[in-house]
Structure formats: structure tokens, C-alpha cells
Amino acid sequence: MCGIFGCATSGSKAAEIIHGALKRLEYRGYDSVGEATIFEGKIYIKKDQGKIDDVHSLLNLDDLPGSLGIGHTRWATHGAPSKINAHPHTDCGEKIAVVHNGIIDNFDELKAELENLGHTFKSKTDTEVIPHLIEENLRHGLPFIEAVKEALKRLDGSYALAIISTLEPDKIICARKESPLIIGIGEEAMYCASDIPALLPLTNKIISLDDGEVAVIWSRGYEIRRLNDWAIVAREPEIITWTVEMAEKQGYPHFMLKEIHEQPLALRNTLRLQDLYLDLIATFLDRAKNVFLVACGSSYNACLAASYMFSKLACISAYPVVASEFIEQFGSAVNIDSAVLAVSQSGETADTLMSVDYARNRAATILGLTNVVGSTLTRVSRVYILQQSGPEIGVAATKTFTAQLLVLAQIALRVAKLRGKLSSQEIKGLEKELKSIPDIVEKTIKMNVEKASQIAKKYRDSRFFVFVGRGINTATALEGRLKLLEIAYVPSLAFPAGESKHGPISLIEPGVPVIFICPRDKTRKAIIGNIMEMKARGASIISVIEEGDEEIKRLSDDYFEVGRTVSEIFSPIVFIIPLQLFAYYMAVEKGLDPDKPRNLAKSVTVK
């Protein structure tokens, strides 16, 4: 998740405006920053790795000439944070500069094609193919805007783009596919930006671009067209009444709610990870004699779910281990034949890093899954994957948890392929379903916002909750419980339903709410039996069911419905959604700030 901005003014100094806007977008990414302006037929660029203030004190970002320019604040996806990889990126002739938020899926093949045609690449980014593609089209005699249009048609993946060129020095071309992009209409100036906070002090008049739209802006006007047929789009501007703080949360009252809603996008991004790294991790896991999945908190819950995925798909026993216990529990069993897959959103969790350090010293292979570029975990891993969820500001993990699950599912599938454990038809079916998960999650969020708020109102004074699941959804129960207790401070218990009669059922008395995770899989019959047991003792049954599951609906006092998933492997990604929302609304009902639960920090860097 990066932030882009562009402004075309009629005489004001663009660089200062861009700098101010990037500061307001810094929450979208902060590993590098850059600006490009046009002045007297030349492109001027300043960029470097680091936070905006640090780069500014080194380079003076305001010191670029010209009244039109673009800027970027980066959250690295392809290519480590560095000066060369920082945006804007240019073509060979430095006539075109581009800033980009998103991921170009087919950049490898485009880059190879362009290199064969004589283009020289400076960076390791996917973005750099864009200015070179445009340059190539110019070489074939296309006018600039046409050259951009044809280049856009070659891009697979997601993008919000702002493009400038000395060939059309008064214009910025903006384009959107899946990544957000808005146009701002000012007095004697036009802007484009990833997000509303960038625009607020400049204008409150905005137009949101839709997927597949291209806008050309100049200081006194704009034109929006559809990329596929170049038809003009007429759209009325909206007037925004948000404050900057509200805008950072995109109008949501809390970051947690915003991040819950960002899950479809975050999940789509995890379907665009580079095959090379997924395959490498799968290869190391396949070769290892023993596999440990090491993490804390929500990341541990993701690992627990992943252990079912690895077993069911690839017939591997992968041990999920709470990082603070890893050395005591499995330390002596770790050796050169072990692979440790460490999962950490922040990449900085002390217990996880301590386990990794220990395992490294015993010659184990360290593999990492994290959300933060340049984090310690990326430096100590033999191979790592960046899950591409963008910054998560709410303390409770939401979008990063579901993204971890989707990455882990992809890895498990690849190990299964390597080991020949699934037929090609099964693999095809699972891959198809994988791609549908972001849409199912999107639908599930819509289905549950109102419902979660209502159910939270009803149960706001309950002093104790129980979460129960079976199979892979034991992990969902644990994660639902963690969300509720950490942000709404409600003591809760979660366990595999089969454990009920071995102790916890003694806590059930009339009115205790018990939340059951009920997918339509092999566990269903047994879960219905567990519901009956709890009902017989007077528990209030809240079920999470697949849409249309009338039988369990009838057994429940309240229920959440989720979109249908075919395979149980992916079900936690969908079933956790109502529980995230429920925890959120329980915190709100109790007047608590879900973004900042007491005693907790986003990144636990002490043991």
C-alpha cells in the first residue's frame, strides 16, 4: 500500500504542495519517498529511502522547480526500500516519470520483452516497466496519451498511476485498476491522490475514479475516459466534509473497522505474490524432515490453521508452536533437517525472533512470512514472503490475519503439488476457489456489519463467552476469542468442541453465550451434537453458519451467516469475519477504543 499524489497548478510551486500531501499520506507507507516536477522541458526528481522528514532534511524536497508534479510515499512490494527503487521511475530518455500504487503481475515478462528491445532498467521494481512501455510506444510514433493508453492495456495486476511527461508538460495522466485513486478539483489547480487526506487542505471537491478509468488533468480542467473504449465518463464531484483525521480512517470511526473492510483488497494482494518465493518456501518445507510453524497471538492462530492445511493437502505434519514456548518444547528436536516457518505481521516480535535465532544456531532452515519490509524477520530468513497487507494501525490483527491464512494456504497447496498428493483436478479446483475468496469475504463483510452491531447490543453485558470449533476452525474459535478479549475485555474461553466434556462444559449455566463455528464440512454432525449439549444446559447459542443453513439456524438463539466456501481449508478466512466485527462492536458498545486496547502494543519487541 503506497500513497501517490499529483498536482497541476497555474503557477504555484508544485514541490511544496506535493510534499505536504505526501505527509498526509505517510500512513499508507513510509519506507521511501520521491517527487518529480516538470520545468522548462525537463523532469526534475528527488527521491530516497527513508521517512519523509528524514529525506526532506537531507534533500530539501521543496526545492524542485515547476508548477506541475507527482509524488509517492512507498510501502515496498517488489524491490527492497532503496533510493533506486523509490518512485518516481523514468524511461531511458527521462522524458516520462511515473508513480504507482499496486502490483504489476506480468512485470517479469514485460521487462524481459523491453530489455530485448534495448531498454535499460535501473530498479528492481515492477513499476519501472510502465515508463519503458510508454517510451516504446512513443518510438512507434504514437502521441503521448495514446502511448500511455496502449501501455495500460498491457498491464496485468493492480494500479493507481500518475504519469507526467515533457511531451505534455501541462498534464498529468492518472489511471486506476483496483488501487484507489481520486481527483481533486481546486481553484486554479487540479490534483490526484490515493486518498482523501492528501487533498483536504487543498480542496473538498473530489471525484473518485472507478476501475478501468483514465483521467487527464491540467490546472484548469480534467477529462475522464474508460480505458477499454475511450468513452468519456461524466461524473459529478462530491463535496467532502471530513476532517483530516476522519479522512485517514476513510470515514470509518476506527482503524480496526477500516482494516476489517480492507480485507478483500488485502486478500487480492496476497494472490499476487511472486511465484518464485512461494515455490522456494514450498521446496524447503517439502525437503525438511520436521516443520515448525512458530508465532505469537493471532499469527499463532494462523499457524494452527496452517497445520491443518499442510496435513490435509500435503500430508505433512507441521507443528504450530507458540514462539515463547518453542525452545522449551521443541528446542532439542531442532536440527539441520528442520525448517522453521516464522509468521509475524511486524517481523519484530521478540519471542518469534528468539526462536528463529535459536533454530538458526542449530542449522535449521529459517523461512519467514511477514508484512513489514526490512523487518528483522526478513533479514534473518533464508527465504521470506511479504504478505502485502499494507500498514495495519489498529492494535488487533484483522486484515493481516486473514492474509496470513491465504498465503499459508497457497504454500500448502504448492507443497501438495510438489509431493504429488493431489490430482490435477483437485489442484485446479482449489486454485479456482482460492481466487474467489476475496469476493466471498467482501460479501461476508456486507452481510454482517449490521448483524454484528445488533448482536453486540444484545450481549453487551454478558460477562463471559465461550467459542467452540472443530477441525481447522478450532483456530477460528481461538482467534474470535482473542479479538473479543483483547479489545472488549470480556473473559472468554475457546477450545476444540471435542474437549468440551473433558472439563469446560462445567462452566456452562443458563444464559452463557456459546459461539459455534459451523461450516458445512465433516465436522458438522459432531458440532450439532455439541450445540445440543450446550443447549441442554441453558447456554445461549450464537452460531456462525454458511448462508442458508436452516437446520443450525433453528438451533441457534442468534446467528451470523457467511458466504459459501467449498473447501474447509479456506473456511477460517471467511468464518472469522463476523467474529472480528462482533468484537469490534462489543468494544464500541462498552465505550472502549478498539484501536488502542489497554496494556497492548502493536509490536511486542520485549520477551
Nearest alpha carbon to residue 99 among 225, 196, 3, 228: 3
Asked whether the CA dihedral 156, 157, 158, 160 is positive or negative, the reply is negative
**Per this entry, what is the length of the chain?**
607
Cell digits of residue 211:
476501475
Query: Is 303 in contact with 295 (CB distance < 8 Å)?
Result: yes
Which residue bears the cell 481553484?
Answer: 187
Residue 228's DSSP bridge partners are none
Cell digits of residue 403:
492474509
Query: Is 509 in contact with 538 (CB distance < 8 Å)?
Result: yes
How far, in Å, CA of 508 to CA of 251, rounded?
40
Q: Which amino acid is at 386?
A: L
Cell digits of residue 179:
488501487
How far, in Å, CA of 16 to CA of 219, rounded?
16
How far, in Å, CA of 212 to CA of 224, rounded?
11
Q: Residue 254 Cβ, how far from ligand F6R at the closest point, in Å?
A: 14
What distances in angstroms separate CA 350 from CA 339, 356, 357, one per listed residue? 19, 10, 10
Cβ atoms < 10 Å from Cβ of 454:
12
Nearest alpha carbon to residue 491 among 463, 511, 460: 463
Nearest alpha carbon to residue 532 among 519, 546, 551, 545: 551
How far, in Å, CA of 350 to CA of 348, rounded?
6
Query: Is 292 in contact with 330 (CB distance < 8 Å)?
Result: yes
Which residue bears the cell 498465503?
Answer: 407
Task: Count CA within 13 A, CB hemisphere, residue 415.
Answer: 25
User: Catalytic residue positions?
Assistant: 2, 602
Query: Is 348 in contact with 358 (CB distance < 8 Å)?
Result: no
Query: Is 291 in contact with 319 (CB distance < 8 Å)?
Result: yes
Query: Is 358 in contact with 329 (CB distance < 8 Å)?
Result: no
Give the distance, in angstroms, between the CA of residue 232 and the centroid of all CA atoms in the same chain.
32
- Which residues contribute to the site for ligand F6R (CB under 6 A)? 296-299, 344-346, 349, 352, 396-397, 482, 486, 603-604
How far, in Å, CA of 294 to CA of 5, rounded?
39
Q: Which amino acid is at 113?
A: E
Query: Is 561 in contact with 425 (CB distance < 8 Å)?
Result: no
